[in-house]
Amino acid sequence: MSQVTTEEATRTGRRASTAAAVGTAIEYYDFAIYGYLAVVLAPLFFPGGDGLVGLLATLVVVASGFAARPVGGLIFGRLGDRRGRRAVLLVTVALMGVSTVLTGLLPTYASIGVAAPVLLTVLRIAQGLSAGGEIGGAASLATESAPEGRRGLFGSATSIGVSLGLAGAAAVVGTVTALTTAEQLAAWGWRIPFLIAGPLLVGAVLYRMRVEDSPVFQELVQESEPEKAPITEVLRHHGPAVLRTIGIVYAALTAGSLASVYILVHLSAVLEYPLTGSLWLVVLIVLLPIGLVPWSGALSDRFGRRRVLAVAMTGFIVLAVPCFWVMQQGSLFWAMVAAVVLNVPFAIQQGVLYTVLPELFPTKVRYTGISIGFNIGGVLGSGLVSVVATGLVSLTGNTLAPSFYLIVAALVGLVVVAITRETSRDRFGGVAAPAVTAAPAPARGSSAR
């Protein structure tokens, strides 16, 4: 493989990380809309009975999308390790966009009866399949294309895409709810955020078409044949890395989702703050700390992934109960302050998460390994977080219950980080597989990746 200059490597990394961020932003915009509109969609697709029961039914459909993610991870992860990251990422973003637009065109229960929630669930599952194949590819593309010694910084672009997608979805839904009456929102306004996915899809596909596959994957293809059975290879030889990925992702996404996406449900449905104000609060709490994402990624290049992740998990443990307590004091302003503070450790962990996962696997099975571990951890974590948190509040009558769940998830994260070796100094290469055994101290040497 020919040598490239530092400037060329930086340009390649910047294009790849931007493509990862843009596509991931669209994916998370599409995937988050349903969660933000759960309170509105509940009576439209699950009418009758107690309002909280309808909300829980709607959140179960949210969970069904997450349940489909491991299947999508298996399908697209295998293709990504055999055919390349770029081609599969074009398919995942297209599938997500089409499914989202079709959701915006669905008739409601009043029009077609039980077929409405069935179709809603089917489209949500299609979104889940797409999302299951997105992160593994985006994280692989961004980190494999990054200049040596700057994987943390460039890998954080995937996390920025996640944050922009979540904030964009909340902003669009907040704008629609502000400009429509409750009747208009229920009649047609809820469709607008879903339909906006159409032009966003076109833009994301066009941008990703301009980006080449990662240099690391191209090197792999030049030096050897792609892995014929990446799923079997991962399960047979990289089980410990998969388990660590599941643990890290469960902790990170449970804590992060409680601090961001679930906050909307908690504020609007549990604490009964106005929906529009709660939506704009989500925009603020996601965007205000976003500058910490690349900062923490760069810090992890210098001090290691484990230290930065441990700081984030500790922050969740310290801040969870005080922040949730402040939120329930009746002031939307102070609820905003508390939510922003709680999202500081979320932003810090996001800056590292999508870099440390690719470093746990060799190139030949990286897409598959991340996809399997990430999506299982995602189902256990953010896939169930709103259902579990809302159920805890319903069962206990204690509006602080979600904060205790957050602490448990963060403690799990600390344990997994403690038994995961430092990977920031490892060198990415095309063929050789790294060892995945734990070590308490950062590894300063380099190993072929």
Q: What is the pLDDT of residues 39-54, one digit of tens each?
A: 788 788 877 655 555 5
Q: What percent of the chain has pLDDT over 90?
A: 31
The per-residue pLDDT for range 392-426, each reduced to its tens digit, is 887 888 888 889 999 999 999 999 999 999 988 88
What's the pLDDT band for 224 if we cut at 50, 70, 90?
confident
Q: Kindly report each contact of residues 323-329 with a partner whose C-beta sits within 8 Å and lies 24 or more positions away, as own/partner.
A: 323/403, 324/399, 324/400, 324/402, 324/403, 325/400, 325/403, 327/263, 327/266, 327/267, 327/271, 328/271, 328/399, 328/400
The pLDDT, as a whole number, for residue 409 is 94
Per-residue pLDDT, averaged over 139-168, amounts to 88
pLDDT score recorded for residue 23: 82
At 444, the amino acid letter reads R
Identify the top-confidence range among 13-22, 185-194, 431-440.
Answer: 185-194
Amino acid found at 60 = V
Domain residue ranges of the chain, discontinuous segments joined by +: 6-418
- Residue 286's pLDDT band (cuts 50, 70, 90): confident
pLDDT at 444 over 60: no
The pLDDT of 311-334, averaged and rounded, is: 89
**Can you say how many angstroms the Cα of residue 383 is from the centroid of all Cα atoms in its chain?**
10
**Distance between CA atoms of 323 and 311, rounded to whole angstroms?**
18
Q: What is the CATH number of domain 6-418?
A: 1.20.1250.20
The confidence band for 431, taking pLDDT boundaries of 50, 70 and 90, is: very low
**Residue in the structure block whose two tokens are 């009866």:** 113
Residue 193 pLDDT greater than 60, yes or no: yes
Is it the case that residue 437 has pLDDT exceeding 50? no
Q: What is the mean pLDDT of the chain?
A: 83
- What's the mean pLDDT in 426-447? 46
Write b or e for each residue in 425-436: b if 16 or more Cβ atoms lie within 10 A of its Cβ, otherwise e: ebebbbeebbeb
Determine the pLDDT at residue 52. 56
Coil, strand or helix: which one is 425? coil
Q: What is the pLDDT of residue 446?
A: 41
Tens-digit pLDDT profile for residues 82-112: 888 888 988 998 898 899 899 999 998 888 8
Higher pLDDT, 33 or 240: 240
- The residue among 226 and 44 whose pLDDT is bigger is 44
Q: Check: CB of residue 170 under 8 Å from CB of residue 32.
A: yes
The pLDDT of residue 5 is: 66
| pLDDT of 383 strictly over 60 | yes
For residue 270, which of 393, 166, 179 has the smallest C-alpha distance? 393
Distance of alpha carbon 144 from alpha carbon 142, whole angstroms? 6
Q: What is the pTM of this model?
A: 0.82
* pLDDT range class, residue 63, cuts 50, 70, 90: low
How confident is the model at residue 1, as a pLDDT? 42
Query: What is the rounded CA–CA span in Å between residue 357 and residue 218?
Result: 20
| The pLDDT value given to residue 434 | 38
pLDDT in the model for residue 414: 95
Six-digit token string for 84: 């390349």
Span 350-359, average pLDDT: 93
Give the pLDDT mean for 348-364.
93
**CA dist., res. 194 & res. 30, Å (int):** 7
Structure-block tokens of residue 89: 């990422």
Structure-token match 């709103």, residue found: 386
Q: Using 50, 70 and 90 to split pLDDT, how confident is the model at 442?
A: very low
Cα–Cα dist 341/344, whole Å: 5
What's the average model confidence in pLDDT over 53-78? Answer: 77
For residue 256 the two structure tokens come to: 């992060």
Number of separate helices (H) and strands (E) present in the chain:
22, 0
Closest to 406 (Cα-Cα) out of 305, 312, 275, 291:
312
Q: What is the pLDDT of residue 124?
A: 87
Q: What average pLDDT does range 200-216 have in this prediction? A: 84
pLDDT-based confidence at residue 208 (cuts at 50, 70, 90): confident
pLDDT band at 228 (very low <50, low <70, confident <90, very high): confident
pLDDT value for 399: 81
Note the pLDDT of residue 194: 92
Instruction: Please check whether residue 125 is in contact with residue 64, taking contact to mean a CB–CB distance below 8 angstroms.
Output: yes
Higher per-residue confidence, 162 vs 35 = 162
| Cβ–Cβ under 8 Å, residues 86 and 141 | yes
Instruction: Quote the percentage of the chain above a pLDDT of 70.
Output: 89
In 260-380, alpha helices (H): 261-265, 275-287, 292-303, 305-327, 332-356, 366-380
Question: By C-alpha distance, which of 355, 312, 353, 320 is closest to 339?
Answer: 320
pLDDT, tens digit (0-9, with 9 covering 90-100), for 242-284:
999 999 999 998 988 888 777 767 777 677 777 666 677 778 8
pLDDT at 319: 95
d(CA 164, CA 156): 12
